Amino acid sequence: MHQLIHDIALCIIAAWALGVVAQFFGQPAILAYLIGGFSIGPAGLGFVHGQESIATISELGLIFLLFMIGLEIDLKKIVSAGTSILVTGGSQILGGAVAGVAFFYILGFPLTAGRWDALYLGIAAALSSTVIIVKVLYDKQELDTLPGRVTLGILVLQDLFVILFLAVQPNLDNLRVGALLISFLRVGILVATALTVSRFLLPQLFRSVARLPELVLVGAKS
Protein backbone atom coordinates (compact mmCIF):
# COMPACT_ATOMS: atom_id res chain seq x y z
CA MET A 1 0.00 0.00 0.00
CA HIS A 2 2.85 2.38 0.90
CA GLN A 3 4.47 1.74 -2.48
CA LEU A 4 1.20 2.36 -4.30
CA ILE A 5 0.70 5.72 -2.56
CA HIS A 6 4.30 6.64 -3.37
CA ASP A 7 3.80 5.73 -7.06
CA ILE A 8 0.52 7.67 -7.25
CA ALA A 9 2.26 10.72 -5.79
CA LEU A 10 5.03 10.46 -8.40
CA CYS A 11 2.46 10.21 -11.19
CA ILE A 12 0.57 13.25 -9.94
CA ILE A 13 3.77 15.29 -9.68
CA ALA A 14 4.92 14.26 -13.18
CA ALA A 15 1.49 14.95 -14.68
CA TRP A 16 1.27 18.36 -13.01
CA ALA A 17 4.79 19.45 -13.95
CA LEU A 18 4.51 18.41 -17.59
CA GLY A 19 0.95 19.75 -17.74
CA VAL A 20 2.26 23.20 -16.80
CA VAL A 21 4.95 22.91 -19.49
CA ALA A 22 2.36 21.84 -22.09
CA GLN A 23 0.11 24.76 -21.18
CA PHE A 24 3.03 27.16 -21.51
CA PHE A 25 3.71 25.93 -25.05
CA GLY A 26 0.01 25.79 -25.96
CA GLN A 27 -0.13 21.99 -26.28
CA PRO A 28 -2.94 19.65 -25.15
CA ALA A 29 -2.60 18.57 -21.53
CA ILE A 30 -3.30 14.94 -22.39
CA LEU A 31 -0.10 14.89 -24.46
CA ALA A 32 1.81 15.95 -21.35
CA TYR A 33 0.11 13.21 -19.32
CA LEU A 34 1.11 10.57 -21.86
CA ILE A 35 4.70 11.79 -21.93
CA GLY A 36 4.76 11.96 -18.13
CA GLY A 37 3.58 8.37 -17.78
CA PHE A 38 6.12 7.16 -20.32
CA SER A 39 8.92 9.12 -18.66
CA ILE A 40 8.50 7.72 -15.15
CA GLY A 41 7.33 4.27 -16.24
CA PRO A 42 9.40 1.11 -16.78
CA ALA A 43 10.27 2.12 -20.35
CA GLY A 44 11.53 5.53 -19.18
CA LEU A 45 13.30 6.44 -15.96
CA GLY A 46 11.74 3.53 -14.11
CA PHE A 47 10.50 5.50 -11.09
CA VAL A 48 7.25 3.53 -11.27
CA HIS A 49 7.89 -0.07 -12.24
CA GLY A 50 5.64 -2.30 -10.13
CA GLN A 51 3.06 -3.99 -12.35
CA GLU A 52 0.41 -3.91 -9.62
CA SER A 53 0.89 -0.18 -9.11
CA ILE A 54 0.79 0.47 -12.85
CA ALA A 55 -2.42 -1.54 -13.25
CA THR A 56 -4.11 0.20 -10.32
CA ILE A 57 -3.05 3.71 -11.37
CA SER A 58 -4.14 3.13 -14.96
CA GLU A 59 -7.55 1.89 -13.84
CA LEU A 60 -8.04 4.85 -11.52
CA GLY A 61 -6.98 7.31 -14.19
CA LEU A 62 -9.35 5.79 -16.74
CA ILE A 63 -12.23 5.79 -14.24
CA PHE A 64 -11.72 9.47 -13.37
CA LEU A 65 -11.38 10.48 -17.01
CA LEU A 66 -14.48 8.57 -18.10
CA PHE A 67 -16.39 10.03 -15.15
CA MET A 68 -15.39 13.53 -16.24
CA ILE A 69 -16.51 12.74 -19.78
CA GLY A 70 -19.84 11.48 -18.46
CA LEU A 71 -20.36 14.74 -16.58
CA GLU A 72 -19.79 16.73 -19.76
CA ILE A 73 -22.02 14.68 -22.05
CA ASP A 74 -25.48 16.16 -22.62
CA LEU A 75 -27.55 13.61 -24.52
CA LYS A 76 -30.27 16.17 -25.33
CA LYS A 77 -27.79 18.41 -27.12
CA ILE A 78 -26.30 15.44 -28.96
CA VAL A 79 -29.74 14.29 -30.10
CA SER A 80 -30.48 17.82 -31.36
CA ALA A 81 -27.81 17.25 -34.02
CA GLY A 82 -29.08 13.75 -34.73
CA THR A 83 -29.26 13.83 -38.54
CA SER A 84 -25.75 15.21 -38.95
CA ILE A 85 -24.40 12.69 -36.46
CA LEU A 86 -26.13 9.69 -38.04
CA VAL A 87 -25.09 10.57 -41.59
CA THR A 88 -21.54 11.60 -40.75
CA GLY A 89 -20.95 8.87 -38.17
CA GLY A 90 -22.46 6.10 -40.27
CA SER A 91 -20.44 7.11 -43.33
CA GLN A 92 -17.25 7.39 -41.33
CA ILE A 93 -17.63 4.06 -39.52
CA LEU A 94 -18.70 2.00 -42.55
CA GLY A 95 -16.38 3.74 -45.01
CA GLY A 96 -13.42 3.60 -42.63
CA ALA A 97 -14.03 -0.05 -41.78
CA VAL A 98 -14.31 -1.12 -45.43
CA ALA A 99 -11.23 0.87 -46.42
CA GLY A 100 -9.30 -0.46 -43.42
CA VAL A 101 -10.20 -4.08 -44.08
CA ALA A 102 -9.27 -3.72 -47.76
CA PHE A 103 -5.97 -2.04 -46.85
CA PHE A 104 -4.86 -4.72 -44.40
CA TYR A 105 -6.07 -7.50 -46.72
CA ILE A 106 -3.88 -6.10 -49.49
CA LEU A 107 -0.97 -6.07 -47.06
CA GLY A 108 -1.41 -9.83 -46.64
CA PHE A 109 -3.42 -10.16 -43.45
CA PRO A 110 -5.88 -13.09 -43.67
CA LEU A 111 -9.63 -12.67 -44.01
CA THR A 112 -10.95 -16.21 -43.81
CA ALA A 113 -12.85 -18.35 -41.32
CA GLY A 114 -10.77 -18.66 -38.20
CA ARG A 115 -8.39 -15.89 -39.28
CA TRP A 116 -10.06 -12.48 -39.19
CA ASP A 117 -6.91 -10.41 -38.77
CA ALA A 118 -7.75 -7.95 -41.56
CA LEU A 119 -11.26 -7.46 -40.19
CA TYR A 120 -10.10 -6.70 -36.65
CA LEU A 121 -7.31 -4.38 -37.79
CA GLY A 122 -9.57 -2.61 -40.28
CA ILE A 123 -12.28 -1.93 -37.70
CA ALA A 124 -9.71 -0.81 -35.13
CA ALA A 125 -8.20 1.62 -37.66
CA ALA A 126 -11.65 3.05 -38.46
CA LEU A 127 -12.35 4.02 -34.85
CA SER A 128 -11.12 6.88 -32.69
CA SER A 129 -10.11 7.18 -29.06
CA THR A 130 -13.13 8.65 -27.31
CA VAL A 131 -11.15 9.43 -24.17
CA ILE A 132 -8.40 11.38 -25.93
CA ILE A 133 -10.67 13.33 -28.29
CA VAL A 134 -13.14 14.31 -25.57
CA LYS A 135 -10.27 15.41 -23.33
CA VAL A 136 -8.90 17.61 -26.12
CA LEU A 137 -12.34 19.10 -26.80
CA TYR A 138 -12.81 19.68 -23.07
CA ASP A 139 -9.46 21.48 -22.77
CA LYS A 140 -10.32 23.69 -25.74
CA GLN A 141 -13.82 24.33 -24.33
CA GLU A 142 -15.43 23.09 -27.55
CA LEU A 143 -17.64 20.34 -26.16
CA ASP A 144 -20.69 22.61 -26.12
CA THR A 145 -20.22 23.90 -29.67
CA LEU A 146 -22.01 22.37 -32.66
CA PRO A 147 -18.82 20.78 -34.08
CA GLY A 148 -18.05 19.46 -30.59
CA ARG A 149 -21.52 17.94 -30.21
CA VAL A 150 -21.33 16.34 -33.65
CA THR A 151 -17.87 14.95 -32.87
CA LEU A 152 -19.07 13.62 -29.53
CA GLY A 153 -22.11 12.04 -31.19
CA ILE A 154 -19.89 10.30 -33.73
CA LEU A 155 -17.71 8.99 -30.91
CA VAL A 156 -20.79 7.62 -29.14
CA LEU A 157 -21.85 5.87 -32.36
CA GLN A 158 -18.38 4.40 -32.66
CA ASP A 159 -18.57 3.09 -29.11
CA LEU A 160 -21.96 1.52 -29.79
CA PHE A 161 -20.56 -0.04 -32.96
CA VAL A 162 -17.67 -1.50 -30.97
CA ILE A 163 -20.05 -2.95 -28.39
CA LEU A 164 -22.12 -4.58 -31.13
CA PHE A 165 -19.03 -5.90 -32.88
CA LEU A 166 -17.60 -7.35 -29.67
CA ALA A 167 -20.96 -9.01 -29.02
CA VAL A 168 -20.98 -10.55 -32.50
CA GLN A 169 -17.30 -11.39 -32.99
CA PRO A 170 -17.30 -14.68 -31.00
CA ASN A 171 -19.72 -16.05 -33.62
CA LEU A 172 -17.83 -14.89 -36.73
CA ASP A 173 -16.76 -18.42 -37.63
CA ASN A 174 -20.34 -19.64 -37.47
CA LEU A 175 -22.65 -16.74 -38.15
CA ARG A 176 -26.25 -17.55 -37.32
CA VAL A 177 -29.23 -15.24 -37.35
CA GLY A 178 -30.34 -16.44 -33.92
CA ALA A 179 -26.94 -15.79 -32.33
CA LEU A 180 -26.77 -12.33 -33.90
CA LEU A 181 -30.24 -11.42 -32.71
CA ILE A 182 -29.42 -12.58 -29.19
CA SER A 183 -26.25 -10.48 -29.20
CA PHE A 184 -28.13 -7.39 -30.38
CA LEU A 185 -30.87 -8.06 -27.82
CA ARG A 186 -28.35 -8.25 -24.97
CA VAL A 187 -26.75 -4.98 -26.02
CA GLY A 188 -30.17 -3.33 -26.31
CA ILE A 189 -31.20 -4.55 -22.86
CA LEU A 190 -27.93 -3.29 -21.37
CA VAL A 191 -28.30 0.18 -22.92
CA ALA A 192 -32.00 0.42 -22.05
CA THR A 193 -31.34 -0.64 -18.46
CA ALA A 194 -28.55 1.92 -18.05
CA LEU A 195 -30.71 4.71 -19.46
CA THR A 196 -33.70 3.73 -17.33
CA VAL A 197 -31.66 3.59 -14.12
CA SER A 198 -29.95 6.92 -14.84
CA ARG A 199 -33.27 8.57 -15.75
CA PHE A 200 -35.60 7.33 -13.02
CA LEU A 201 -33.72 5.59 -10.21
CA LEU A 202 -30.49 7.53 -9.65
CA PRO A 203 -32.07 11.03 -9.36
CA GLN A 204 -34.41 9.80 -6.62
CA LEU A 205 -31.55 8.05 -4.85
CA PHE A 206 -29.28 11.08 -4.99
CA ARG A 207 -32.03 13.39 -3.74
CA SER A 208 -32.65 11.09 -0.79
CA VAL A 209 -28.97 10.79 0.07
CA ALA A 210 -28.43 14.56 -0.27
CA ARG A 211 -30.70 15.18 2.74
CA LEU A 212 -28.13 13.59 5.05
CA PRO A 213 -24.57 14.95 4.69
CA GLU A 214 -23.04 11.89 6.38
CA LEU A 215 -24.61 9.62 3.76
CA VAL A 216 -23.10 11.77 1.03
CA LEU A 217 -19.69 11.38 2.66
CA VAL A 218 -20.05 7.62 3.16
CA GLY A 219 -21.41 7.14 -0.37
CA ALA A 220 -18.55 9.13 -1.88
CA LYS A 221 -15.97 7.03 -0.03
CA SER A 222 -17.67 3.79 -1.03
Residue boundaries of the structural domains of the chain:
2-72, 73-174, 176-222
Output the pTM of the full model.
0.62
Q: Is the pLDDT of residue 82 over 70?
A: no
Q: Which tops the pLDDT comparison, 95 or 221?
A: 95
3-class SS of residue 115: strand
User: Looking at residue 181, what is its pLDDT?
Assistant: 75
pLDDT range class, residue 38, cuts 50, 70, 90: confident
User: Looking at residue 110, what is its pLDDT?
Assistant: 79
CA angle 64, 158, 81 (to 5 degrees): 95
For the ranges 50-59, 68-77, 87-96, 194-203, the maximum mean pLDDT occurs at 87-96
User: Looking at residue 215, what is its pLDDT?
Assistant: 59
